[in-house]
Structure 1
Amino acid sequence: MFHPSNEITLSIVSHGQAALISLLLSDLAHLSQQNFQVLITINIPEDESVYQGHSFPVRIIRNTLPKGFGANHNAAFLHSNTPWFAVVNPDIRIETLNFDRLLSPFDNQTIAAVAPLVLSADGKIEDSARRFPTFMRFAKRVLLRIREPDYTVQARPYSVDWVAGMFVVYRRGAFHKIGGFDDRRFFMYLEDADICLRLYKKGWKIFLNPCVSVIHMAQRESHRNLKHMRWHVVSALRYLTGL
């Protein structure tokens, strides 16, 4: 059953990714439960025609200058007024999604953020829930390319250190209290780990909900784009050193 208190804002940022977002909007249009509104931030100019004519509210935010991940979603948060605020990547696909089921862990008032299980395009479980980064863990993953999952997937929602930002729902009050993403220190990458760490230090919990899943059509820009790779390295150093 749909509960009005479960209204949710989906914040999507487009970097010229209208084609991808069009597929995501089509997925959302086929959901039987549409207790959501969509905020699309146009980070660089593009054809916006695919964002028109949907059965659910779609609002457009247009940037005069490009912004980073955290800054874009922080700005979108100020345009929202729902109890739940979700950060959603353009390369997410949704086959089925029950928002009430996704949000059910929030009945626990200590939980600040909930993420669904993330599957790859071929149906494999992605490593989207992790322990907080350390120098050792970063070296193990990046230099040695040892990337075993930090958590074993459970049958019911469970607590994790942090969740990757391709699809995360935040409790509005918690997101507001810590000032959202730290867009001063992080332009792109690691802001998802940082916000979870700051929430954790304030006594909040982060949960993965394996009862719900989405598909991630991974773009992996930092693996093939030198600019993105530089952003990734800079963010990692800032996170690990606290600078």
Structure 2
Amino acid sequence: MLDNFDLYIRALSIDWGRIYKNSYLRKISSIASLDELVFHNAVTFFVGENGSGKSTLLEAIAVGYGFNPEGGTKNYNFSTFDSHSELCDALTLSKGYKKANWGYFLRAESFYNVATAEEEYGRLSKYPQHFHEHSHGESFLQLAQTNFKPNGLYILDEPEAALSPQRQLTLLLEIARCVKEGSQFIIATHSPILLGFPDAEILNFDDELRPCRYEDTESYIITKMFVNDRGRVLRQLMENDEVE
């Protein structure tokens, strides 16, 4: 496991003077309340509802470290849509004393474009890849396994979107392997499986940004409630829907 001085990204700060006064970022509670964030663990999870700001901050971290906004390594320079926010220009990263040997920004929403770029780059090397020949989940996991290497920085945005529960367990094992080999992960997720990673720090983006126990995440609470008594949960949902 890494300590804070060994982390490739140790902290971040936001210069709010570089963000417009009418910016939508000021309306996102988790980000608007944030001036500085310190990372403590080799694995950090961002959790929260859609629109809570977790992917916005994750993307800004990735761009700040030098990754392509759509994903890939720091060497990728393709662009299909310029979507990154002004937060990227206002954010400063505090890096550790060691430089990561490798890194990857992997996001589910732009996976097709990244996989296409991987195949194009692969044609120029001795090791061509054929991600589009596999199912979405298989190719997503293959891309992760191909690019997860020791002493690396990996930023993942909702990787569970492409993966079955079994594949999520496989990804969890890949993360564990890389952490043992000196890697750092920052992950935005809704997955109660991934969130169960031991010794990870979980940051909740609902309202003001705050640390959160695994058992207090909505992903865990709702999944547990449904699995333990799905009949009652479904009845309540359907009864409420009929009332509305």
TM-score under structure 2 normalisation? 0.26
Q: Which structure shows the bigger proportion of residues in strand conformation?
A: 1
TM-score under structure 1 normalisation? 0.26
